[in-house]
Structure 1
Amino acid sequence: MAAKRAHPTDDVLSDLTDSDLTDEELRGIALILLAAGLDTTTNMLALGTFALLRNPDQLAALRADPTLIDRAVEELLRYLSVGKTFMRTALEDVELGGQTIRAGSPLILSYNTANRDPERFPDPHVLDLHRQDGGHLAFGHGIHQCLGQQLARVEMRVAFPALLDRFPTLRLAVPAEQVPLRPEIADIHGVKRLPVTWDT
């Protein structure tokens, strides 16, 4: 933060150093920008590629119809949900699923479970790029919705077609079961490595 204050550049953090935010607050914002704006999208791109390579029929559908990319991005977001759980506090008493949640109660929300809810999504464990029903919670909901969701969507709409166009024979270099995933306890779901190969 001291370096940004002394030598500002054309970026968000430099702009924020001209505010009344403390260095501690600025460090917190920088951490959130890095974790929420980079870690989630890079993992979504890797996991999305992995999911497409594991579902060759869906990969073929996207290759055959590039206009499918918008729907493909939404389906990959629903199917993968890289942000797994979030903590919230009930602001008032509410009935949910026949249970009363009291105001002030801490809650753990599972976005990936909600996005695989069979009452909301037919065949929820199937990746279907032609799925019509949206409404996933990959970016949260309400006032807690991700501020960077449109940027993340644009990045995916650009990256997936570019990758598939540049490497038309892209495929896994190891069996899918050998692709190492991040630990289940990680806040952001992802792959540790994604070994791939292609014909030259």
Structure 2
Amino acid sequence: MTALPLTALPTARPDGCPFDPPRELAALRAGHPVSRMTYPDGHEGWLVTGYGPVRAVLADPRFSSRYELMHFPIPGGPEGTLPPAPVGDMTGIDAPEHTRYRRLLAGRFTARRMRLLTERVEEITAEHLEAMAHGGTETDLVTAFAQPVPALVICELLGVPFADRETFQRHVHTLMSLDVSPEDRVAAVTGMHRYMLDLVCTKRAAPTDDLLGDLTASDLTDEELAGLGGFLLGAGLDTTANMLAHGTFALLTHPEQLAALRADPDLAESAAEELMRYLSVAHTMVRVALEDVELDGRTIKAGETVTLSVEAANRDPERFADPDTLDIRRKATGQLGFGHGIHQCLGAQLARVEMCVALPALVRRFPALRLAVPAAEVPLRTGMNVYGVHRLPVALA
């Protein structure tokens, strides 16, 4: 089997199909699940689209997550290898640095601890649904519900003032954009770090009963704690907010699935997992081979960048039957929306709790919920490394 050369990562989604990956990915997955790819800066690397190979790379310590070793796979981005990860950014580092941070945090994000937050998530959700009910018959679900619910949850968990959300949400939005200038990206990193550093200094002086307050007793420096706090804040805001908004969009355009969730709240867990699989909002991950590695009959050479298409892997018919169909009754165990291996999303259990609470509560509170504009007019986040919608205009009654 001959590898198929590419000039760029396919990114254009099919017209009228806002939930489907680019069609070229399915064709590659069927014939060339590990394929040669020419990166925008000329680097000769790889694109992996099959579920098995993507999962294998994510679990293999011979593939590095260090940004400074990578080449950017999307046109318009930085050329050459990337700058190193900012202090505290767990996504762009390897062991032992990653292990040190993970050990400090893992016990604070267990499934049991996150379930203990369920009651508070229910309260926050109910408060925002009530505010929506009194705010008129139409609203933007992103600003009224999908953003503030996870923002308030992560702010309370970390001990970040919710009143400052506009400041850090602006920085997070810039950092999640794929087409911003290097200067704007640096400014966002600097702004977020400065904000968190001031907060850490305040907590050092007067420790508080929250995650950041607890971590002031660890061996983390102020710089590390500020960086880690900013990383957790951004991770806790953007992905879950887009899953709530884009997940609602998907349900509203699949009325039989919406009706099933409304009728049976016990489907909440399987619905959350299936939406993670079907939507794959964190659509692309990147790794670098630290040594020569055999993968699905190919030899990945040391130093070559490997782009992992999570959205293609989560639609692989060899892993999920009828993968292009949204079915909230499906047992989507093993979906890769939260990643896999040592870098699997630290907040996955928290995101599951938020989705399992917020989505059923939303569709039950507003039984007539529907799009307020044609589906084709909903603005999509096509230039972001977390996919979703910019706005979701909905009618409540």
User: Is the TM-score greater than 0.5?
Assistant: yes
- SS of the residue aligned with 1:70? helix
Do residues 4 (structure 1) and 203 (structure 2) align? yes
Matches of residues 139-154 of structure 1 in structure 2 within 5 Å? 139-154=338-353
Deviates more, 1:111-120 or 1:18-27: 18-27
Cα pair 2:270 2:332 within 8 Å, conserved? no
Structure 1: unaligned runs, 5 residues or longer: none
Aligned equivalent of 2:106: none
**Matching residue's letter, 1:198:** L
Asked whether 1:192 is paired with 2:386, we answer no
Residues of 1 paired with 2:253 and 2:263: CA distance?
A: 17
Greater radius of gyration (CA): 2
Alignment partners' CA distance in 2, 1:64 and 1:2 = 49
Q: Distance in 2 between the 1:132 and 1:155 partners?
A: 19
Indicate the SS of the match to 2:240. Answer: helix
What does residue range 7-46 of structure 1 map to in structure 2 within 5 Å?
7-46=206-245
Offset, 1:91? 4.2
Stretches (4+) displaced over 4 A: none
**Does the Cα contact within 8 Å between 2:273 and 2:332 map onto a contact in 1?**
no
Aligned mates of 2:377, 2:307 — CA distance in 1: 30
Give, in whole Å, the separation in 1 of the partners of 2:243 and 2:327: 17
User: C-alpha offsets along residues 66-87 of structure 1, whole Å, 9 cap, x if unaligned?
Assistant: 2211111110010111212222
2:252: which partner in 1?
53
Deviation at 1:134? 2.5
Name 1:67's counterpart in structure 2.
266
Instruction: Give, in whole Å, the separation in 2 of the partners of 1:32 and 1:101.
Output: 30
Q: Deviations over 1:117-155 (max 9, x none)?
A: 222222222211122352110111111211211111111
| Residue identity matched to 2:342 | I
Once the two structures are superposed, the pairs formed by residues 19-168 of structure 1 within 5 Å of their partners are: 19-168=218-367
Q: Distance in 2 between the 1:31 and 1:111 partners?
A: 25
SS at match of 1:95: strand
How far apart are residue 95 of structure 1 and its match?
2.5
Q: Which amino acid aligns with 2:201?
A: A
User: Counterparts of 1:176 and 1:21 in 2: how far apart (Å)?
Assistant: 47
CA–CA separation in structure 2 for the residues paired with 1:170 and 1:61 = 14
**Percent of residue pairs identical:** 66
**5+ residue gaps, structure 2:** 1-199
Instruction: State the distance in 2 between where 1:157 and 1:131 align.
Output: 15
